[in-house]
Chains A and B, each alone.
Chain A
Amino acid sequence: MCTHHHHDHDHDHDHVHPTRPELDGPLTYHQRLEIAVRELLIEKGIVTADEVRRAIEAMDARTPAQGARIVAHAWADPAYKKKLIEEPREAVLELGVDPGVTKLVVVENTDKIHNLVVCTLCSCYPRSILGLPPDWYKSRAYRSRAVREPRKVMSEFGLEIPDDVGVRVHDSTADMRCLVLPKRPKGTEGWSEEKLASIVTRDTMIGVAEARIP
C-alpha cells in the first residue's frame, strides 16, 4: 500500500525533503561505505557517475530471458545445440548475448543425466547470461548441501529425479560458469522458438527445475 502523507496545514516548501526511496531508517555502515567509496572514485576520476548508471542499466538488461532464447534455439536447431555444447562462447555470441569474461560450460540434461549447478565457495553464476543470482543460490544451505545431497535439495524445489537418472553437480568457480541446457519436454513438437523460450525458466538453467508445459 502506498502511504502518501497529505499535509493539509500550511506548509512551506523551503526545507529539504530527503529523498531516500531505498531506505526506511538511517544508513547502515555498509551503505555509507558504498557512498564514500563511490564518491572517492568519482573524485579521483577512476569512474564517473554516468558509468555507474550505465553499468546498472546493463545489469538490469541481463535477465533469464536471454538464456531462454539460447536454450529454445538449441532445442529447435540440432546444429546449434552441438555448437552450444562444444563452443559455448561462440554460440552465445552468435545470438548477440555476452558470454562474459569467464569460461562458459553448457551441460545438457538427457534421459540419463540431470545436471545441477552450485558455487560452494561463493556465488559464481553465469551472470552475463542470466543476470544476478537469486538469494537462495548464495545461501549457506544451498552451497553446503547441493554437493552432498543434491537429490534432496532438488526435491525441496519440487523436483524429483528418478533413481535411474544420474545426477551431476557442477561446482562453479571464479573462472568457470555453468549453464544447464534443460531437456525439451515431450509435446512441444512444432512449437515456435518464442513459445519454447516461454517455458525455459531461470531455475531450469540452474538445474533445480525441469522445463514443463504449463
Chain B
Amino acid sequence: MRGHHDMGGEPAGPVERTEHDYAPWEKRVDALLVLLSDRERNLIRTDELRKNIEAIGPDAYDKMSYYERWITSVTANLLQRGAITADELGRKLAEVEQREKDGLL
C-alpha cells in the first residue's frame, strides 16, 4: 500500500510560496538531529528519521508541522534505541510542564 508520505504524482493545489524564519525551538530540533546522527553518537540515521515520520498516522501527519514531525520521530528513535526510557521522558515532560506553570520557562 502506498504510504501517506508517498505523495509524488498525486493531485494537489497550487504551490503556496510560503517561507518563514525558523523559530528557535525548530532550530534546536534540527541541531539535535545533526548531533545525534553524527558518527560519534550514531543514535539516529536518516532512514530511521524517515521511518518514524512515515509511521505517524495520516491525520497526525497532516496536522503536524515539519519540525513537529521531526521531534516526534527523533523521540521515537531514542526510545527504540534505548537511549532514553518512556519513564524518564514522562517524568521530564511533567517537570517541564510544571516549570512552565510556575513561570520558570
Find out whether the CB atom of A59 lies under 8 angstroms from the CB atom of B30. yes
Chain B residues with CB under 8 A of A153: 15
Chain A nearest CB from B81 CB (Å) reads 11
B6-39 contact mask (Cβ, 8 Å, vs A): 1 or 0: 1111111111111110111101111110111000
With beta carbons under 8 angstroms apart, the residue of A18, A46, A144 that contacts B105 is A18
Find out whether the CB atom of B34 lies under 8 angstroms from the CB atom of A55. yes
Interface extent on B, as a size class?
35 or more
In the bound assembly, the distance between CA atoms of A162 and B47 in angstroms comes to: 38
Q: Any chain B CB within 8 A of the CB of A27?
A: yes
Chain A residues with CB under 8 A of B95: 36
In the bound assembly, the distance between CA atoms of A16 and B47 in angstroms comes to: 43
Show the binding face of A for B, using Cβ within 8 Å. Answer: 16, 18, 20-22, 26-28, 30-41, 44, 46-47, 51-53, 55-56, 58-60, 102, 118, 120-123, 132, 134-136, 138-148, 153, 156-157, 171, 174-175
Q: Who on chain A is nearest to B47 by CB?
A: A174
In the bound assembly, the distance between CA atoms of A37 and B78 in angstroms comes to: 9
In the bound assembly, the distance between CA atoms of A142 and B9 in angstroms comes to: 10
How many residue pairs, one in A and one in B, have C-beta atoms under 8 Å apart?
A: 162
Interface residues of B in 84-105 (CB under 8 A from A): 84, 88-89, 92-93, 95-97, 100, 103-105
Asked, given contacts A30-B68, A144-B10, whether A52 binds B22 with beta carbons under 8 Å apart, the answer is no
Asked, given contacts A56-B31, A144-B9, whether A123 binds B88 with beta carbons under 8 Å apart, the answer is no
Find out whether the CB atom of B43 lies under 8 angstroms from the CB atom of A46. yes
Asked, given contacts A22-B23, A44-B83, A174-B46, whether A38 binds B32 with beta carbons under 8 Å apart, the answer is yes
Q: 16 A-B contacts, Cβ less than 8 Å apart? A: A30-B64, A32-B100, A34-B28, A34-B32, A35-B105, A55-B31, A58-B34, A60-B27, A118-B8, A120-B6, A121-B8, A132-B30, A139-B18, A141-B13, A142-B15, A144-B8
In the bound assembly, the distance between CA atoms of A123 and B96 in angstroms comes to: 30
Find out whether the CB atom of B12 lies under 8 angstroms from the CB atom of A145. yes
With beta carbons under 8 angstroms apart, the residue of A37, A59, A144 that contacts B84 is A37
In the bound assembly, the distance between CA atoms of A32 and B93 in angstroms comes to: 7
Chain B residues with CB under 8 A of A56: 27-28, 30-31
Chain B residues with CB under 8 A of A140: 7, 12, 62
In the bound assembly, the distance between CA atoms of A157 and B14 in angstroms comes to: 10
Interface centre among A35, A142, A171 (most CB of B within 10 A): A35
Chain A nearest CB from B21 CB (Å) reads 10
Find out whether the CB atom of A37 lies under 8 angstroms from the CB atom of B74. yes
Q: Who on chain B is nearest to A16 by CB?
A: B103
Find out whether the CB atom of A37 lies under 8 angstroms from the CB atom of B71. yes
Asked, given contacts A27-B100, A30-B64, whether A41 binds B32 with beta carbons under 8 Å apart, the answer is yes
Chain B residues with CB under 8 A of A27: 96, 100, 105
Asked, given contacts A32-B93, A44-B84, A175-B46, whether A52 binds B35 with beta carbons under 8 Å apart, the answer is yes
With beta carbons under 8 angstroms apart, the residue of B8, B18, B34, B35 that contacts A147 is B8
Q: Who on chain A is nearest to B48 by CB?
A: A174
